[in-house]
Structure 1
Amino acid sequence: MAGVAPAVLLVDKPGGMTSHDVVARARRAFGTRKIGHAGTLDPMATGLLVLGVEGATRLLTFIVGLDKTYEATIRLGVATDSDDADGQVTRQTDASSLASDAIETALQPLRGRISQVPSSVSAIKVGGRRAYDLARAGEEVELAAREVEVTRLDVVAQRRDGPTIDLDVVVDCSSGTYIRALARDLGAALGVGGHLTALRRTRIGPFVVEDAGTVDALDAARGLDPAAAASAVLGRFEVTADEARDLRHGKRLAGAAVRLPSHPAAAIGPDGVLVGIVEKRGADVKSAMNMPAEASR
């Protein structure tokens, strides 16, 4: 829509809203339907949601796969059918006798490169349908295990209340990691069941929730211009006006690969405009994705 500047928005999603709810609010605030997000958050979860507006939606593909940080609370002693507090309780076991050392021992196999079966109540598609739709319809859902990486899984606080134990944890992980599944698998390893009672996403790649605005202030949000957002994610590759023109025309920049700060990288013209996303081709640099003029600033 004319008059709507392309931008990458950082939004602090409140609990009780779906990611689609936030996108719908942003579409109304900006008066355009061309808005998408880089990775969902469950309705129960809060925290960082990255939105792309207008032409900047093309950058979301480079953001969705970035590593992430979460703050979460795992309750040991209670399992649910969704692996979080929104589900129905399926098992209750007295976890009060668990020692802290036993909990730490059970956490060790959940760190590093691990094979994880996502929660059955997830957005993964099975036969063209979302797993959570199948599960809510009472159908059996079997999801394949996938490799993810958990580079940090630290307990920062522990609270004991009768038969349950609450663990406040901080998780650094690769895209595609289900924190609910970590809670489930920890509870299963300890023999008492476990689920999430709170989840907050605090970081996606270089973007942090402290820089995010609220849903209620979307109409006043300015966001990051595409050049700034792409440079933060991919690294900044400065090009001359002639090189910018050549990239837009599909030409290679001969011998320019040695100048690339990363692969791929954000090509920025002398006027600060995002020319596009570039990549190596041997010793040369080639455009992998050109940005339309309206999406460049």
Structure 2
Amino acid sequence: MTSPSSRSGILLIDKPPVLTSHDVVARTRRLAGTRKVGHAGTLDPLATGLLVLGVNSSTRLLTYVVGLDKEYEAVIRLGASTTTDDSEGEVIETASAAAMDSVDDARIVAGLAAQTGEVRQRPSSVSAIKVDGKRAYARVRGGETVVLDARSVTISSIDVLASEPSADPAFRDVSVRVVCSSGTYIRAIARDLGDALGVGGHLVALRRTRIGPFRIDEAHTLEEVEPERDLVAPATIADRLFTTVTLDAEQAADLRNGKRVALDRPDTAGPLAAIDPEGLLIGLVELSNGTTRVLVNFPTDTVS
């Protein structure tokens, strides 16, 4: 396989369990033959699913992917709280049989509905949020007690897919599909549902199935991915993220040389993707008074 060491583009990867997002980036660097690989949105080792990776200059597109809405499928275990709000932590409290008997599907649906909309959510203490310059999870592992401030997130929907006793009948497993804004913690949804029902809860499975327009069924596993074959061109990605405008040869040359280009179209508040006559992404621009202002430029792709 020829490595596309100087090509730019996006790879959609289906992350396996156990590996960190950094592990996936490291393996992709070796496969793609370049150090310039980054990702848009971390997944915990417990989680599986969609990672959007940028290769070479397409890492510049990741800024516009990170903030997109996301979709997850998750399994919440009711009946126990853990130190990490997921199955990787130590159990700190379990519910009585009487308390679990009071939990029915109607209460579960109502508890999840209360978490939808624009809400204030308190992130898990073992998140990657920095507290006085140090990651919260590092402080917790060092023996500190960390309680993070609640922050505003938007949870568009939480649909219950299944609700049944777990392998241990003392607990109940609730499978859900969550559509939410960037910055939402699914572990916190599990914790808060358990708290609302008075039985405790934590996350036992998590799979990210969508980031913005990118879906898990487009992704490749690390075992099957071939960057030369699977790298998605920057112009193709830009077309899915932004309104595009195709420039003529003179306009394209001017924009690449840093000149402003007049376009006969309404001004835009957000980015426009400027495409050259060969179908390559020149850069992202915004229009003011009918004239472009460059937000970010992209070098012309080359094939190694």
> What's the TM-score, normalizing by structure 2?
0.91
Q: 1:238 — aligned with what?
A: 246
Task: Confirm or deny: 8 A CA contact 1:231 1:265 kept in the other structure.
Answer: no
AA matched with 2:214? F
Matching residue of 1:202:
209
| Mapping 1:100-119, distance limit 5 Å | 100-119=105-124
Which residue in the other structure is 1:74 paired with? 76
Tell whether the 8 Å contact from 2:285 to 2:292 is kept in structure 1 after alignment: yes
Judge which range, 231-240 or 244-253, deviates more.
Answer: 244-253
Letter in 1 for 2:7: A
37, 45, 48: which one pairs with 1:46?
48
Residue 129 (1) aligns with residue 134 (2): yes
The counterpart of 1:96, out of the listed 97, 101, 105, is 101
Q: Deviations over 1:224-273 (max 9, x none)?
A: 0111112111232222222222322333333544286x821211111101
Q: Is the 8 A contact 2:73 2:206 kept in 1?
A: yes
Partner of 1:275: 282
1:267·1:276 contact (CA, 8 Å) conserved in 2?
A: yes
Q: Verify the 8 A CA contact 2:187 2:202 in the aligned structure 1.
A: yes
Instruction: Please give the secondary structure, in 1, of the residue aligned with 2:161.
Output: strand
Relative to the length of structure 1, the TM-score reads: 0.93
Q: Is 1:142 the counterpart of 2:147 in the alignment?
A: yes
Matched pairs, number: 295
Matched, 1:212 2:219: yes
Q: Show the 5 A alignment for 1:152-171.
A: 152-161=157-166, 162-171=169-178
Q: Which residue of 1 aligns with 2:194?
A: 187
Structure 1 contact 54–295 (Cα < 8 Å) conserved: no
Identity of aligned residues (%): 50
Deviation at 1:189, TM superposition (A): 0.9
How far 1:3 moved relative to its partner?
Answer: 4.2
Quick check: 2:267–2:288 contact (8 Å CA) kept in 1?
no
Question: Distance in 2 between the 1:189 and 1:282 partners?
Answer: 53
The aligned counterpart of 2:27 is 25
Q: Judge conservation of contact 2:119–2:153 (CA < 8 Å) in 1.
A: yes
Q: Which moved more, 1:236-245 or 1:184-193?
A: 236-245
- Match for 2:187: what amino acid? R
- Letter of the 2:44 counterpart: D
Residues 1:290 and 1:73: Cα distance change in structure 2 (over 3 Å)? same
Gaps of 5+ in 1: none
Partners of 1:87 and 1:257 in 2: CA distance: 55
CA drift at 1:142: 2.6
Letter matched to residue 32 of structure 2: F
Worse-superposed segment, 22-31 or 250-259 = 250-259
2:172 partner amino acid: I
1:250 counterpart = 2:224? no
Q: Give the secondary-structure state (helix, strand or coil) at the position aligned to 1:63.
A: helix
Post-superposition offset of 1:129: 1.6
- Following TM superposition, by how much is the alpha carbon of 1:282 offset from its aligned partner in structure 2, in angstroms? 4.1
- 1:204, 1:114 → 2: CA distance? 20
Residues 174-211 of structure 1: CA deviation (Å, up to 9, x unaligned): 11110001111111111111111100000011111101
Moved more, 35-44 or 139-148: 139-148
SS at the partner of 1:258? coil
Selected match of 1:16 from 15, 18, 28? 18
- Partner SS state of residue 216, structure 1: coil
1:280 and 1:188 map into 2 onto residues whose CA distance is 49
Q: 1:3 to 1:179 in 2, by over 3 A?
A: closer
3-state SS of paired residue (1:218) = coil
Task: Provide Cα deviations, 1:145-189, integer angstroms capped at 9, x if missing partner.
Answer: 111111111101111242321111000111111000111111111
Q: CA deviation at 1:24?
A: 0.7
